[in-house]
Amino acid sequence: MKILVTGGSGFIGSHLVTQLIAQGHDVITLDDLSNGKISLLNQVMDNPKHTFIQGSVLDRSLLNELMDQVDVVFHLAAVLGVKNLVEHPLKVIEGNIDGTRNVLEFAFARKQKVVFSSTSEVYGKNNNLPYNEDSDRVLGSTLKNRWCYATAKALDEHLCFAYAEKGLPITVVRYFNAYGPGATTSDYGMVIPKFIKAALTNSPITVYGDGNQTRCFTYIDDTVQGTIKCMDSNYNGEVFNIGRDEEISINQLANKIKFLCNSNSDIIHIPYDEIYGEKYEDTPKRIPNNEKARSLLGFSPLISIDEGLRKTIAYYQNELGYGSDR
């Protein structure tokens, strides 16, 4: 099959591209490299089944030309990261909505299958856990830029479902805190690579807030597994949580990483407002209900947090040139 992956040199996108090629598909990667790194695609850059195009989903002429060449589109290109949503809300809103609208418009004209990558952020601060795919969205004030990314992604989903009602074959996935080799400290404000790099250098491991907030971290191989399963046309017009439901607090995560790295790092806490300003607020918990993805997709996350952290630590030990004592 011929596949276009937008945002394919990002963390999740690069793993997706690599796995699709391993399965025998021909893949075109489209990325403007604003978030992604071309080095993440080193494994497949010279593969005859892979073509890399530096460009943006906002370039309608280029996007239209590329979509003429493929059967399926995985749309991962997005403007993301906590720093962006706090400091550059217009960039987040326009970048996400306009790009998705272009992809859907051109796909609809061709009736191409689309898998759209959304986020668990759309649930906001709903305290009714775990989150089902039809759970209510509970967001803060529009005066707080913190919520613009969740709002933009939710509007993207509305666009997806509107096109699905018109006949576009499309599936939406909501990711829960993907992590693993290749993630950088700039990706999604990712906490795991930040903690690992600090631990390996015996620098302070910095926790934002009191550290009691919990998340469900999903190893990248499981994230990609769930994403590829959505390529099946049986799941058009559906949305799936793609995450592991193993809850851990950020304090526990920091201590676990410190132990696994055999680190002497201190663990320190910094209030959110010192980092993101007074208008930032965090969600205390975010847990997926995986029943729908399990029953319809056969999605079953295989990698525990301990195993995933060991794999990820080994990657950064190699990247930073550190040996392992554990």
Listed by start position, the domains of the chain span 2-178+220-242
Query: For residue 138, is pLDDT > 50?
Result: yes
With contact defined as beta carbons under 8 Å apart, do 247 and 216 qualify?
yes
Mean pLDDT of 184-210: 86
Q: What's residue 99's pLDDT?
A: 95
With contact defined as beta carbons under 8 Å apart, do 180 and 309 qualify?
no
Q: What's residue 323's pLDDT?
A: 54
Query: For residue 187, is pLDDT > 50?
Result: no
The DSSP string of 9-45 is TSHHHHHHHHHHHHTT-EEEEEE-SSS--GGGGTTTT
Mean pLDDT of 184-190: 58
Nearest Cα neighbor of 25 from 75, 72, 77, 76 is 72
Task: Dump pLDDT digits (tens) for 227-253.
Answer: 999 998 789 999 999 999 999 999 999
Query: For residue 322, is pLDDT > 60?
Result: yes
Q: How confident is the model at residue 314 (pLDDT cuts 50, 70, 90)?
A: very high
Task: Dump pLDDT digits (tens) for 30-68.
Answer: 999 988 899 999 999 999 999 999 999 999 999 999 999
Task: Dump pLDDT digits (tens) for 169-179.
Answer: 999 999 999 99
Does the domain at residues 2-178+220-242 carry the CATH identifier 1.10.10.10?
no
pTM of the model: 0.94
Mean pLDDT of 121-149: 92
Query: For residue 325, is pLDDT > 80?
Result: no
Task: Dump pLDDT digits (tens) for 97-116.
Answer: 999 999 999 999 999 999 99
Q: What's residue 86's pLDDT?
A: 57
Q: What's residue 10's pLDDT?
A: 94
With contact defined as beta carbons under 8 Å apart, do 108 and 168 qualify?
yes
The DSSP string of 182-208 is T--TTSTT-HHHHHHHHHHTT--EEEE
Share of the chain above pLDDT 90, in %: 79
Task: Dump pLDDT digits (tens) for 280-302.
Answer: 677 899 999 999 999 999 999 99
Residue 144 DSSP SS3:
coil
Q: How confident is the model at residue 148 (pLDDT cuts 50, 70, 90)?
A: confident
Q: What's residue 326's pLDDT?
A: 42
Q: What's residue 84's pLDDT?
A: 54
Query: For residue 81, is pLDDT > 80?
Result: no
Mean pLDDT of 200-217: 95
User: Does the CA dihedral 176-178-184-185 come out positive or negative?
Assistant: positive
Alpha helices, DSSP H, located in the chain: 11-22, 60-67, 82-87, 89-110, 148-165, 191-200, 220-229, 250-260, 272-276, 291-292, 305-320
With contact defined as beta carbons under 8 Å apart, do 208 and 251 qualify?
no
Query: For residue 303, is pLDDT > 80?
Result: yes
Strand partners for 172: 116, 239
Nearest Cα neighbor of 261 from 191, 308, 324 is 324
Q: Report the alpha-carbon distance of residue 179 to residue 240 in Å, rounded.
A: 18
Mean pLDDT of 197-220: 96
With contact defined as beta carbons under 8 Å apart, do 174 and 122 qualify?
yes
Query: For residue 320, is pLDDT > 50?
Result: yes
Q: What's residue 278's pLDDT?
A: 66
Return phi, psi of residue 188, to 5°. 55, 15
| Assigned token pair, 180 | 């693993």
* 235 is known as an active-site residue: no
User: Does the CA dihedral 120-124-125-127 come out positive or negative?
Assistant: negative
Catalytic position from the list 131, 149, 219, 280: 149
